[in-house]
Chain A
Amino acid sequence: MVFRQRGRPDVRAVDGVGFSVAPGETVGLVGESGCGKSVTSLAVMGLLPRRGVRVEGSVSFDGTELLSLPPDKLRTLRGRELAVVFQDPMTSLNPVVPVGTQVTEVLVRHRGLNEGEARKEAGDLLRRVGIPDPSRRLREYPHQLSGGMRQRALIATALACRPRLLIADEPTTALDVTIQAQILELLKTLVAESGTALILITHDLGVVAGMCDTVHVMYAGRIVERASRHDLFGAPRHPYTGGLLASVPRLDQPRGTRLEPIAGSPRDTIPWDRGCAFAPRCPNRVEECTSATPELLGGHHGLRCFNPLRSGPVREVTPR
């Protein structure tokens, strides 16, 4: 995925990110801010602006190539087969349109329901995601709903047409901790009930531990480690993954124990051309790391590293 801006060199924001999701499976994309998680999800949905961005490669949905699909065809898939829940429920709902209309419009568009049927269905949907008194809520405007309520409404909208793929882009980041747990529980239940494939994008390892079957760890636009949840938390191989796990605060350590942050911060440019992008921050750096670019190798536990951790610090992360 290449971002281009006139007068500046192209920026290869995301490169070589490949993964697949099976029905009923939950796949996590993990990484710090700016590593390309959200952009990846937008590319899958075809929601990146057409000008200034070039997406190469392939997004295959049930055998259909999405990248070459004409816009109007893609529109009939989006919202019906592919759905997304965005990060910030405060800004993701239209402030001047009643919540009800924002739920029903998907049903009217994709399932051909009339207003009355759609309203009834929308009421059921809101009830399913745990919104009390749905018929009143449908008439209200977003500013009359709490953050958690709005995120529930957005989830209800995303699930309205029983999509086969749901992308949840940091669905709980903007919410209180107690609400976070409820929302995640809700997602988990709904996915389990409907057999929807879920791509969960997060920077929160607790969320990953509680939800995901497989996890892809991204750094600077590339996947650096790929493993099942069990393997990743049990034996992280990439120093970046190790660092992420080590920096999670824990309750079973004595008070006053310092967190172990990863030194440094990610660079602005995407420096995979010459060496590993993580090398400047990496405790395991060897000479090779700054001269050659590592490839993603290995089968079900993939790794992009010349000098991985031998036996990672086995740590437990409290699942959310």
Chain B
Amino acid sequence: MLRFVVRRLTLLVPILLGLSILLFLWVRALPGGPAEALLGERATPEAVARVKRLYGLDRPWYEQYLTWVGNVFQGDLGVSSRTQHPVVEELLRTFPATVELALTAMIFAVGVGVPLGYLAARRHGTWVDHLSVAGSLFGITIPVFFLGYMLKFVFAEKLGILPTDGRQDPLIDAEHPTGFYVLDGLVTGNPEAAWDAVTHLILPAIALGTIPLAIVVRITRASVLDVLHEDYVRTAEAKGLRPGTIRGRHVLRNALLPVVTVVGLQVGLLLGGAVLTETVFAFPGFGKFVADSIAARDYAVLQGFILFTAVIFVLVNLLVDVTYGLVDPRVRAA
């Protein structure tokens, strides 16, 4: 297992090297540049040239690349041309927000999706089944921004039971040592702040989690249907085991294997940021920050953030494979 993990982490090196070069070129292939974006449409060529020299953009790209890689190895991702803050700082500010949102969304998707998918399979062919299949189709098709605004309209505007946007009520006096607001509230002994952060997460998490939810329902349902017809489930029935034991040990344990894979992929995707959800709920996360940085041609931010996303994606996939090995002994042996 350890050798497997090490091998996979070693594989990360060539991936990141290749990606960083592509990334560097892609960012520079965008029309315009940070100087033009900063100075606006009516900037004189002299002013543009001056700003370019300031950021070192007048040098050949491979020189810029080597300088950048050298800095990255020292933990320096550069300075944002848009906000003038170090990229690392921006990363530490926005990424916890996205992690918090993504995890809440996945907890919603798995927590609701697995029982629903299981129920649909157990009641195969009945109205419960049809409703869950139709519902998950609806969940996949509905646009996230539309769902987001509808949720806001109903629960924040009309009913007024949940906040409309942001991560924390500005009137609450809260400290943020980790950047994970729920966690912050708990570690600083401020349950009010923690609860406030939770209420801010609910609506965006539902909006963001609906597509994963629909996928989890469908995968779980199909997988449970398969497993229910397996001989070993019949064996378990023949042993006269309690329904709970059969469900947990013999059906779900096997049926959840494909679900683990799907959930892992979805977590990877969600950690890349959720531009639409973050925009609708004015949630200061990773995705929105990247989107804004694209508009500003903020080279340093784009390079740093996308590289970081790649690392996260590989790590999440590694985690999925390790989990898989824990659940399925046959994988462990291979």
What chain A residues lie within 8 Å of B236 (beta carbons)? 94
What chain A residues lie within 8 Å of B328 (beta carbons)? 95-96
Across the interface, do A157 and B234 meet the contact criterion of CB distance under 8 Å?
A: no
What chain A residues lie within 8 Å of B333 (beta carbons)? 143-144
User: Contacting chain B: which of A83-91, A236-244, A250-258, A267-275?
Assistant: A83-91
- Please tell me if B237 contacts chain A, counting CB pairs below 8 Å: yes
Per-position contact with B for A67-106: 1 when CB-CB < 8 Å, else 0?
0000000111111100110101001111111100100011
Across the interface, do A109 and B239 meet the contact criterion of CB distance under 8 Å?
A: yes
A172 to chain B, nearest CB (A): 16
Across the interface, do A109 and B254 meet the contact criterion of CB distance under 8 Å?
A: no
A62 to chain B, nearest CB (A): 16
Identify which of B239, B250, B257, B330 contacts A141 (C-beta below 8 A): B330
Across the interface, do A105 and B330 meet the contact criterion of CB distance under 8 Å?
A: no
Across the interface, do A96 and B329 meet the contact criterion of CB distance under 8 Å?
A: yes
Across the interface, do A109 and B330 meet the contact criterion of CB distance under 8 Å?
A: no
Q: A92-B231, A93-B235, A143-B333 are in contact. Are A78 and B249 (CB under 8 A)?
A: no
DSSP class of A's interface residues: helix, strand, loop or mixed?
A: mixed
Give the docked Cα–Cα distance between A76 and B242 (Å).
9
Give the docked Cα–Cα distance between A88 and B232 (Å).
10
- Please tell me if B59 contacts chain A, counting CB pairs below 8 Å: no
DSSP class of B's interface residues: helix, strand, loop or mixed?
A: helix
Identify which of B232, B237, B249, B257 contacts A47 (C-beta below 8 A): B237
- Please tell me if B54 contacts chain A, counting CB pairs below 8 Å: no
- Please tell me if A29 contacts chain B, counting CB pairs below 8 Å: no
A47, A95, A109: most-surrounded residue (chain B CB, <10 A): A95
- Please tell me if B241 contacts chain A, counting CB pairs below 8 Å: yes
B256 to A, closest residue via Cβ: A96
Give the docked Cα–Cα distance between A109 and B242 (Å).
8
Give the docked Cα–Cα distance between A45 and B232 (Å).
15
Per-position contact with A for B239-266: 1 when CB-CB < 8 Å, else 0?
1111001000110011001000000000
Give the docked Cα–Cα distance between A83 and B250 (Å).
18
Across the interface, do B245 and A105 meet the contact criterion of CB distance under 8 Å?
A: yes
- Please tell me if B76 contacts chain A, counting CB pairs below 8 Å: no
* Residues from 126 to 169 in A contacting B, C-beta threshold 8 Å: 141, 143-144, 154, 157
Across the interface, do A106 and B232 meet the contact criterion of CB distance under 8 Å?
A: no
Identify which of B231, B239, B245, B254 contacts A96 (C-beta below 8 A): B254
Across the interface, do B239 and A78 meet the contact criterion of CB distance under 8 Å?
A: yes
- Please tell me if A110 contacts chain B, counting CB pairs below 8 Å: yes
Give the docked Cα–Cα distance between A79 and B235 (Å).
10
Identify which of A88, A105, A144 contacts B239 (C-beta below 8 A): A105
What chain A residues lie within 8 Å of B231 (beta carbons)? 86, 88, 91-92
What chain B residues lie within 8 Å of A94 (beta carbons)? 232, 235-236, 249-250, 253-254
Give the docked Cα–Cα distance between A154 and B230 (Å).
16
Q: A97-B253, A143-B329 are in contact. Are A75 and B235 (CB under 8 A)?
A: no
Across the interface, do A93 and B241 meet the contact criterion of CB distance under 8 Å?
A: no
Across the interface, do A92 and B237 meet the contact criterion of CB distance under 8 Å?
A: no
B209 to chain A, nearest CB (A): 27
What chain A residues lie within 8 Å of B230 (beta carbons)? 91
Q: A96-B328, A97-B250, A105-B245 are in contact. Are A78 and B232 (CB under 8 A)?
A: no
What chain A residues lie within 8 Å of B235 (beta carbons)? 86, 92-94, 154
What chain B residues lie within 8 Å of A83 (beta carbons)? 238-239
Q: A95-B329, A96-B254, A105-B249 are in contact. Are A45 and B242 (CB under 8 A)?
A: no
Q: Which 7 A-B pairs have the closest CB atoms?
A: A78-B240, A79-B240, A79-B239, A91-B231, A141-B329, A94-B232, A75-B240
With A92-B234, A92-B235, A96-B254 already in contact, 14 other A-B pairs whose C-beta atoms are closer than 8 Å: A47-B234, A76-B240, A77-B240, A79-B241, A94-B235, A94-B249, A96-B327, A96-B328, A105-B239, A105-B241, A109-B239, A109-B241, A144-B333, A154-B235
25 contacts between A and B (CB under 8 A): A74-B240, A75-B240, A78-B237, A78-B239, A79-B239, A80-B240, A83-B238, A86-B234, A86-B238, A94-B232, A94-B253, A95-B254, A96-B253, A96-B257, A96-B328, A97-B249, A105-B239, A105-B241, A105-B245, A109-B240, A109-B245, A143-B330, A143-B333, A144-B333, A157-B239
